[in-house]
Structure 1
């Protein structure tokens, strides 16, 4: 009996399915686990089934044949003449048409089967179809709903999809929990959705989530901040460092002032502490470089604790 490969929600379920098909017990087979089960994220994406290969024990056929021989009566040996005649008959059957015995080495070489090789060759990657694009928006909606449920809030999710992007609009009560302080929670949710949607895609899609119009309001607020800070720089003639921002937020600041003839912008810092500095373009370049090389520590945005008065 050959090996059987089975899959199931769990490894045990796959093993039980194989044993049922083979009609054997667990002690009569050898189990090779090819893949452990994985529930994935939120039970939606990255989920993998358990996969096993079940092979009968090699000793099983020997034991069966031994028991069968014990149950059968021992046959009497045939006369020497019959054995000799049977052997000569077998020799005649193995001879070729020209009367000579065919040698194992003279057999024609068996050509390898190219059908298996053809099957194993990977198929060329094609562009995602319209159905696949629709699946991306459906998956995005489902993930956002699942994440919202973990916050204990009900939301209405609508996703629109283009060739290069998926835009998700979320509305509902208490959606502020999905936004978080300065949009940090929303940024994390957007990152998770982007990773899950683009996990198995050859072409990445840009994922944008707007919760109750937050993105539009935030963009307007950042543009106003950039304009107001630029006026301050022109009045004082000194550079101004803004608080740390995310890459999309910094991009809005740069785009707002990219055509300004008197105020320039530059990003400094590393990782989460990266911030935008606004400076007058008339400033000495050496002085500007010195300021950019030693930016002040980023502000946390929290007020310092009040000191208690001593009596």
Structure 2
């Protein structure tokens, strides 16, 4: 956290000098007045400058990026991180690129999910204004979603043809949501989940 204590003939002057030193703008700092300016006798004797403490606000998206970069470096992986979604204050999408993507994605995205969980913990620990961090790896999430949607439609057709329920393999919550969502509007198909985490499964049945 960057901070500076600065003085000026007025609060406005001290604030301006502090912003210049921190190389930022007023909306990105918090400040408090340590001492008010005093003009003194005849404007000379006993005159005191205003003193402010300026604290630069933490950019949580940059913090998430830095945490992930340091973690990947510790893992000795040739990967880079970029902030993709930057249009609101409550969500951040970080994309990982590089030669070692297979390692960081893991079996069906489990390693990527674990890194996402750790990044959210690191960024939001003891902080207000929760930031939801999502991780992707060169479009892996989109490809996986498409695979799951195709699987759901295929298994739904199987359930209709056989008249028997179809039980899918265990999936994490976010992947089960994809299955439920793609089949939600099919009037002749119903879906529900059974079991306990991490072995919870989606069941597809003909209505």
Match of 2:128 among 181, 202, 207: 202
Match of 1:171 among 61, 82, 97: 97
Question: What does 1:66-145 correspond to in 2, within 5 Å?
Answer: 131-132=57-58, 135-145=59-69
Deviation, 1:205, is 2.0
Deviation, 1:259, is 0.2
Q: Distance in 2 between matches of 1:206 and 1:237?
A: 41
Q: How many residues align?
A: 150
Q: Distance in 2 between matches of 1:207 and 1:267?
A: 26
Runs of at least 5 residues in structure 2 that lack an aligned partner in the other structure: 1-55
Runs of at least 5 residues in structure 1 that lack an aligned partner in the other structure: 1-129, 282-311
Structure-2-length-normalised TM-score: 0.69
Q: Distance in 2 between matches of 1:216 and 1:259?
A: 21
Q: Distance in 2 between matches of 1:163 and 1:170?
A: 20
Tell me which residue corresponds to 2:174.
248
Match of 1:187 among 113, 118, 122: 113
Match of 2:160 among 231, 234, 241: 234
Match of 1:259 among 182, 185, 193: 185
Q: Distance in 2 between matches of 1:252 and 1:150?
A: 33
Higher percent of residues as strand: 2
Larger RCO, structures 1/2 (Cα 8 Å, 6+ apart): 2
Tell me which residue corresponds to 2:146.
220
Structure-1-length-normalised TM-score: 0.47
Q: Distance in 1 between matches of 2:190 and 2:132?
A: 29
Deviation, 1:131, is 4.7
Deviation, 1:157, is 0.9
Q: Deviations over 1:15-48 (max 9, x none)?
A: xxxxxxxxxxxxxxxxxxxxxxxxxxxxxxxxxx
Tell me which residue corresponds to 2:82.
158
4+ residue runs over 3 A deviation: none
Deviation, 1:182, is 1.1
Q: Distance in 1 between matches of 2:128 and 2:67?
A: 20
Match of 1:273 among 180, 187, 199: 199
Q: Distance in 1 between matches of 2:132 and 2:176?
A: 18
RMSD of aligned alpha carbons? 1.5
Could you tell me whether the CA contact under 8 Å between 1:264 and 1:278 is conserved in 2? yes
Q: Tell which structure's C-alpha radius of gyration is larger.
A: 1
Could you tell me whether the CA contact under 8 Å between 1:151 and 1:177 is conserved in 2? no
Q: Distance in 1 between matches of 2:66 and 2:102?
A: 19
